[in-house]
Amino acid sequence: MQKLKMSSAEMVARARSRIEEIETVDAIAMIEDPRVQFVDLRDIRERQRSGFIPGSFHCPRGMTEFWVDPESPYFKDIFAEDRRFIFHCASGWRSALTVATLNEMGFETAHLKDGFNDWAKQGGPVESET
């Protein structure tokens, strides 16, 4: 087996040291703010199984950099809106890496520190597809 130069946990820790992390309780308080847009990076199956933050925009992790970049053929107009974007995944690992990359690209954003699982555990509103 090939020895890695850095573990995924080390990559996440490094990313977290240089990005804005939003605590769950603070994020729940932002749910009604029209200037805040939650962005869900989880796989569509995770959203279907666990539900999602009401009003969140689903952006698959693998397409994020392309959807945010206005010069990309995959650009999504939502990312041109004057809003505060808060990205999240299930536990905060994927979103930490994503936000670090987006910040490097010049797209300043933040992430939900402990992810959707903590959001649901702390009583944040959750919607399901019906």
What's the order of all strands across the beta sheet hosting 57-58?
20-22, 110-112, 84-88, 36-40, 57-58
State the first-to-last Cα distance of the chain, in angstroms, to the nearest integer: 45
- pTM of the model as a whole: 0.95
The 10s digit of each residue's pLDDT in 10-29 is: 999 999 999 999 999 999 99
Q: Among residues 62, 123, 109, 112, which one has the least CA distance to residue 90?
A: 112
Domain holding 107, by residue range, is 18-121
Domain count, the chain: 1
Whether 5 is in a domain gets the answer no
Q: Among residues 82, 77, 86, 21, which one has the least CA distance to residue 53?
A: 86
Whether 128 is in a domain gets the answer no
Other beta carbons less than 10 A from residue 15's beta carbon: 20
Structure confidence at residue 129 (pLDDT): 82
Statement: residue 62 has pLDDT above 80: yes
